[in-house]
Amino acid sequence: MKIAFYGTKPYDKIWFEPMGKEYGFDVHFIEAACSRETIFMAKGHDAICIFVNDYVDEEMINALYEMKVKAILLRSAGFNNVDVKAAEDKIVILRVPSYSPEAVAEFAMALLLTVNRLTHKAYNRTREFNMSLNGLMGTDLYEKTVGVIGTGKIGQAMIRILNGFQAHVLCYDPYPAEGLEAEYVSLEKLFKSADIISLHCPLTSDTRHLINKDTIAIMKKGVYLVNTSRGSLINTEDLIDAMLEGKFGGVGLDVYEEEEGVFYEDRSGDIITDDNLARLMTFPNVLVTSHMGFFTKEAMQAIAKTTLENAYALENG
Ligand code: NAD
């Protein structure tokens, strides 16, 4: 099978290159993101392999179909960047439904512990040999009330970690899971009671702007918020207003609303500019990371393995 691998970063090759060879695939690594401008590069390949920064719209599906490309191999769980409906009866779409929920949960915890203990501020200070503790007082996580929204794979991993810290875990999910050391409560109770809130639900029409001025209003003053799910779960303007009023103790964001806004632009580069993101980053108790919760060796290896297994299964019927 010949695979056009769009949006290649150096770290992609670590596993895809040797594993691809093991499977006997001819993987053609392309640096450019998949877009209307670069789709012609798929010619002569049986499949294209894409990530969340790439997109495939209806026009591109038709182009792929004409070029006799049989499959789109998504090296991600999400598939909102592909026009799935247009692909029906034309091209097979395969994805990686799960790779390492622990990677994202551990990262959510890293964000929480950083904003909670201000390690990012301490880091900047000690690099200048300033050992002052002024303004660096943190809070314990021990026996705090933590609200986990969404108790799927990542939310459950987060709850297991929180149990180790002996936090009191409240959670909300329209489809509760069994056997968790956590108490399911209404969203309202969760917002009112939590000292810390961590978001682990998908972005849907129900969850868009779940964190907004009304829900922020009922939260405790000094609450900590962590979002490793999708940026649009939070109304960024409302979050900024609340930050200006000193509502939050700290906020850790691995994802931000504007990411979704740049969806149809070329995101093969690493720089994105956005006013709201820039405003958020002026608050010292806000920590923004670059959608990297998934980014561990183990998760990347699992992504490569499942993507290539998908291709193998397709080739062998
Ligand atoms: P999952 O499908 O296993 O779990 C999602 C859970 O959310 C389910 O239990 C579902 O019932 C629940 N849910 C649905 N609607 C809800 C609502 N209105 N309120 C509360 N809960 C609701 O998914 P997962 O693997 O745990 O991933 C969770 C999210 O994490 C994904 O949707 C994705 O946005 C995000 N994610 C981020 C990264 C990253 O690198 N930061 C990586 C992978 C996934």
pLDDT value of residue 138: 96
3-state secondary structure 196-257: EEEECCCCCCCCCCCECHHHHHHCCCCEEEEECCCHHHECHHHHHHHHHCCCEEEEEECCCH
* Residue pLDDT, tens place only, 92-127: 999 998 889 999 999 999 999 999 999 999 999 999
Give pLDDT, residue 104: 96
Give the pLDDT band (50/70/90) at residue 221.
Answer: very high
The response to whether residue 150 sits with its C-beta less than 6 Å from ligand 1 reads yes
Q: What is the per-residue pLDDT for 277?
A: 85
Model confidence pLDDT, tens digit, residues 172-213: 999 999 999 999 999 999 999 999 999 999 888 899 999 999
**Residues paired with 145 in a beta bridge:** 168
pLDDT of residue 271: 57
From CA 80, how far away is CA 14, in angstroms rounded? 26
In short, whether 54's Cβ falls inside 6 Å of ligand 1 is no
Catalytic positions, please? 230, 259
Out of 52, 80, 200, 215, mutate this one to test ligand 1's pocket (max ligand atoms within 8 Å of CB): namely 200
254 lines ligand 1 (CB under 6 A): yes
Q: How far is the CA of 24 from the centre of ligand 1 (A)?
A: 35
The 10s digit of each residue's pLDDT in 42-74 is: 999 999 999 987 889 999 999 999 999 999 999
pLDDT at 295 over 50: yes
Return the DSSP state at 82.
B
Q: What is the pTM of this model?
A: 0.90
Nearest ligand 1 atom to alpha carbon 175: 11
297 Cα: distance to centroid of ligand 1 (angstroms) = 21
Mean pLDDT of 160-166: 98
* pLDDT score of 278: 85
Give how far Cα 297 sits from Cα of 12, 294, 301, Å. 11, 9, 6
Q: 104 CB less than 6 Å from ligand 1?
A: yes
